Amino acid sequence: MDRQLTPISKLRPNYSNFIIYGQISFIKSVRNASIFKVTDSDRDTIKCVAFGATGDWCNKELKLKQFCYVLGGKVQPIDKNYNIYPNDEFEIIISNPRDIEIKLDPTILSRLPVTPIENLKESVNYFKIHGRVTLMDTRPPHHYQKRFNFEITDFNGDTIACSASSPEADVFYQNLVKEQSYYLAGGHIKKGHEIYNQTGIDYQIDLNNFTIMEPAPTLLTLPKFNIQRVFLSDVANVKKPIDVLVCIKEFKDVENYTPTENKPPHKRHIQVIDDSKSEIRATFWGYNAVDAIREEFLNKVVAFKGVIPTEGNGQLFLSITPGTRIVIQPEVDGAAYLEAWFDGYNARGAITTISQIPT
């Protein structure tokens, strides 16, 4: 653990920011609640009580003699009038399942079956993913964003976003390699962001101290890259992240701007066009803007999987976010035709301009 463990003997009412670790020495399901006791290495014990949905989770997931961490909750004196365990002095009231972490056995990767990403949801607590890192932050966690984000894709081609905060963020950044295969177990599954999660899976995984991630012995073969293409002529009719197949007509230099949030203050405009005879401005944000290389993009066919139609200054444009997957010269339907069309588009009639790069 990066934070120091708290001896149970030190806990007092209103004690905050604690972590206790021990073995579950007692557990009982009662109406609308779960009562369990944790005994630490000093053989001190404290009662924990979880109500409602958290109690249901504890009754389902916690087992006698299991080791776990309790990361938070309210420490309070036990009302002696209702104390059925007379030796107990304090108790922890737990209202959030995130305040409990079951310690995973390091051998769990060899014992758990592989879980398809499409089967992951908030109620799944034990899972093992076999997947390939297909997208990851290219820079270490920094003061703009003390998180590290990556996406992992399984054998079915399904992708889920994963995120770790410091200090775990630094560990994952230093050890993961893009396009390598891994086994991953442990973490909190939660609803993904409605806009910025562009994987096609409704959930994402928050990684933590207890996540186990190890390289797989062989490289996982993924299904062929594909997109649900939206033509630029139809962009105005869509209010969610989309996939586009375009040619890069213009590629501007990086600009600095003042972000409304604590984000890297960089952007880069490009002008893209497709064979619906429409063109539109697209914008890279943050370090994506800095890392994009002109020679790799200009006059090339590019697939953007998960760009966001955005309104700004009275114009519609496409936002290219860190979650957007970018494939240059992709082998997808329509790419060869688009390339041939782009080579001679000036002779093919009027082009509809949805938005242009500011001058």
**Confidence (pTM):** 0.69
Asked which of 30-34, 120-124, 171-175, 258-262 is least confident by mean pLDDT, the reply is 258-262
Question: Is the predicted pLDDT of residue 86 greater than 70, yes or no?
Answer: no
Higher pLDDT: 123 or 180? It is 180
- Domains of the chain, residue spans: 8-101, 108-215, 232-353
Q: Under 8 Å CB-to-CB from 207, ≥6 apart: which residues?
A: 162, 163, 164, 168, 172, 186, 187, 213
CATH fold of 232-353 reads: OB fold (Dihydrolipoamide Acetyltransferase, E2P) (2.40.50)
How would DSSP label each residue in 4-71?
A: PPPPGGG--TT--S--EEEEEEEEEEETTEEEEEEE-TT--EEEEEEEHHHHHHHHHH--TT-EEEE-
Q: Is the dihedral of CA 242, 187, 218, 291 positive or negative?
A: positive
Position 2 confidence tier, pLDDT thresholds 50, 70, 90: very low
How would DSSP label each residue in 96-123?
A: -GGGEEEPPPTTHHHHSPPPPGGG--TT
The rounded Cα 296 to chain-centroid distance in angstroms is: 27
What is the share, in percent, of the chain residues with pLDDT greater than 70?
Answer: 94
Question: Is the predicted pLDDT of residue 185 greater than 70, yes or no?
Answer: yes
- Angle (nearest 5°) at CA 327 between 322 and 329: 155
Question: Is the predicted pLDDT of residue 321 greater than 60, yes or no?
Answer: yes
Instruction: Determine the average pLDDT of the residues in 236-263.
Output: 88
Q: Hey, what amino acid is at 90?
A: F
Instruction: Determine the average pLDDT of the residues in 296-314.
Output: 93
Closest to 182 (Cα-Cα) out of 162, 196, 199: 162
Is residue 167 reached through a cis peptide bond, with omega within 30 degrees of 0 on the bond before it?
yes
The residue with tokens 């697209």 is 282
Question: Is the predicted pLDDT of residue 210 greater than 90, yes or no?
Answer: no
Position 259 confidence tier, pLDDT thresholds 50, 70, 90: confident
Centre a 10 Å sphere on the Cβ of residue 211 and count the other Cβ atoms it contains.
19
CATH fold of 108-215 reads: OB fold (Dihydrolipoamide Acetyltransferase, E2P) (2.40.50)
For residues 72 and 35, give the distance between their C-alpha atoms in angstroms, rounded to a whole number: 16
Q: What is the CATH number of domain 8-101?
A: 2.40.50.140
Closest to 174 (Cα-Cα) out of 151, 198, 150: 150
Sort strands 212-215 and 181-185 into parallel, antiparallel or unpaired.
Answer: antiparallel
Higher pLDDT: 77 or 1? It is 77
Position 3 confidence tier, pLDDT thresholds 50, 70, 90: low
